[in-house]
Structure 1
Amino acid sequence: MLENIAARLRVTPEALKEELRTFFVTTVGTLLYCVGTVFFIKPAMLPNTGVMGVCLFLNYLSGIPLGLSNAVFNFALFLFAYKMLPKRFFYWTLYSTVLMSLGMEFFARFPAPVIADRMLLVVVAAVLHGIALATVFSGGGSTGGIDIVCVAVRRKTGVELGNISMLLNFAVILLFFWVVSVENVVYGLLLSYITSLVMNGDLRAFSSRKEAMIITSEAELVRNYIVYTLHRGVTIFDARGGFNSDPRHVLITLLAPRQEIQLKLFLKEHDPNAFLRLSVASEVLGKGFQKWEE
């Protein structure tokens, strides 16, 4: 069925699977972000960073709906940067932005849970936001805001705007001194810090892979399993044992965590004399993994 749909769309089944995965993770991540904002951050009048921080500031100050202000600000940013953005990033970020604006208004209709412990509330909101952002980023898009400008300028000039982005976020936090208590501003800073920790940790989990090096005398058996069952590429080197000079083959491949377990079980059953070394590859770029343009 998937092959038929891919043929009609004139794309490969692998490309269609990738876009369906991106649709799923972008939708889930964006809705999680809405839940964290509407049910936890907004009722407690906590600050936030970026464009959503400005939207919250305006909401606390004058009651402007979050969905409306988020749509207006991001629309302006898209107009500024759309020609400089990668097409795939542009479309998925646009989808996330529209879904977020609609999601904010939808979830605002429901009563927020009451959490008396302010620290617990901050942790829950930060974890939701961190997981949400990492999930969306893992699909190759973003939730909009300052990310749009940073990606556009980096592609146009090659200049990284990490420090400028940090200063802008800090300036947004300072705005909240006008509308909330100093205590809430401090909680807002803590919220941003925990969010970044959770997001970075999850991004490493999403993007990290295991590099497997197998030393074996059954190269074809292992190669066929990696290529045709795990659907991964493999590089093969000829070698010989240093102890008895017996001929050996060294196979190197990159695997997802689940595939690492499958490979272990296969070697245990079919090639128990093989030597397996596993190491963490914190980031992998190229076909079958993260695209270079992302």
Structure 2
Amino acid sequence: MLRALLTPAAFSRKTLQEYLLVALGAFIQALSMRLFLVPAQLVSGGVSGASQIINFFTGWPIGLMVFVGNVPLFILGWQYLGGARFAKRTALAIALFSLFTDGLVWFIPAEGVTSDLVLDCLYGGILLGVGLGLVYRGQGTSGGSDILGRILNHRLGISISQAYLITDTLVVLAGGFAFSWEKALYGLLVIYVSGLAAEAVSEGSGVFRTALIITQHPDEVTHSIMSVLERGVTILPGTGAYTGMERPVLYCVITRSEVNPLKELVREIDPRAFMVIGQAHEALGEGFRPLVKE
């Protein structure tokens, strides 16, 4: 395990950038805990949420409890973390989050910045999600639920999303017993908001559109899309189930702003064309974000 952590690749420029993203993400997560979640007694699930509950009854440092709680999970989940690459970044994220969470006690007032539960829930969830998203962009995980979710998925066949739901819900329910059920309900909102923010940061907020076009003039439509919109077109073979006629299906990926121009182009060439506009979560390759970073 130690040899895997000390490979020459660990010192490349790209790796250093990923480590910086993980460190920044861990700091932002800790900031969310100290500014909003801990003062408001909002439990967001996972090991950090369980640590909040333990801290409430014992007074033990939250960061220390996060670190101790993640150690056995990290050992169990080593083989499910995608190898040493993910494990190194996960270990860094856990260690820094624990350090920052306890260290910020000296700089942030115990009552946080607001006494409004709605504000604590909203901004705490957003900050937490931004931190998580940065850790994910650094090719790491935040430990806790991430590790346990992968173990449950591998051993029991439970989907990752269901595993997160199970583990986080159990912790939030425990928070309801410790603090109040009202705060437990807010805790569920924190999980939802942080999930949206983490997805936006880690995968990007851009949503693309896919278009399937069935037309009697495929050559003209293809030429128009490639020359006017400057988008690539893939021609797929198709056969009408009712008519039995063979007719090509045009497939292309465009941005949201190009949907109406595409409709107009197709309408001018073939008003009787059939179009299906779908939504793509991400587009990688020529004309969009590169698949391989240089």
- TM-score, length basis structure 1: 0.66
Mapping for residues 114-153 of structure 1, pairs under 5 Å = 114-152=113-151
Q: Could you say which residue in structure 2 is the equivalent of 1:215?
A: 226
Alignment CA distance shift 1:119-1:90 (3 Å): same
Note closer, same or farther for the CA distance 1:194–1:159 as it changes in structure 2 (3 Å cut): closer
Give 1:54 shift: 0.6
Change (3 A) 1:283 1:155: farther
Map Cα deviations across residues 251-284 of structure 1 (whole Å, 9 max, x no partner): x9999xxxxxxxxxxxxxxxxxxxxxxx985235
Counterpart Cα distance in 2 of 1:144 and 1:281: 29
> 1:79 Cα deviation (Å)?
1.2
Asked if structure 1 preserves the Cα contact closer than 8 Å seen for 2:208 and 2:253, the reply is no
Contact 1:29 1:132 in 2 (8 A): yes
Alignment-mate amino acid for residue 92 of structure 2 = Y
- TM-score w.r.t. the length of structure 2 is 0.66
Over 3 Å counting, the alpha-carbon distance change for 1:51 and 1:207 in structure 2 is farther
- Please name the residue that 1:46 is paired with: 42
- In 2, are the aligned partners of 1:207 and 1:284 still within 8 Å (CA)? no
Name the amino acid aligned to 1:90: A
- Cα distance in 2 for partners of 1:10, 1:169 equals 35
Q: Structure 2 residue aligned with 1:26, among 6, 9, 22?
A: 22
Counterpart residue number, 1:96: 93
**Cα contact 1:284–1:290 (8 A) shared by 2:** no
Residue of structure 1 equivalent to 2:103: 106
Partner SS state of residue 64, structure 1? coil
Q: Bigger CA drift: 147-156 or 109-118?
A: 147-156
Unaligned runs of 5+ in 1: 1-7, 217-221, 223-233, 238-251, 256-278
- Structure 2 equivalent of residue 16 of structure 1: 12
Q: Which runs of 5+ in 2 are unaligned?
A: 1-6, 211-221, 235-251, 256-277
1:184-219 deviation line (CA, Å, top 9, x unaligned):
2222222222222222333341687899x9836xxx
Question: Identity across aligned pairs (percent)?
Answer: 25
Q: Secondary structure at 2:106's aligned position in 1?
A: coil
How far apart are 1:108 and its partner, in Å? 1.3
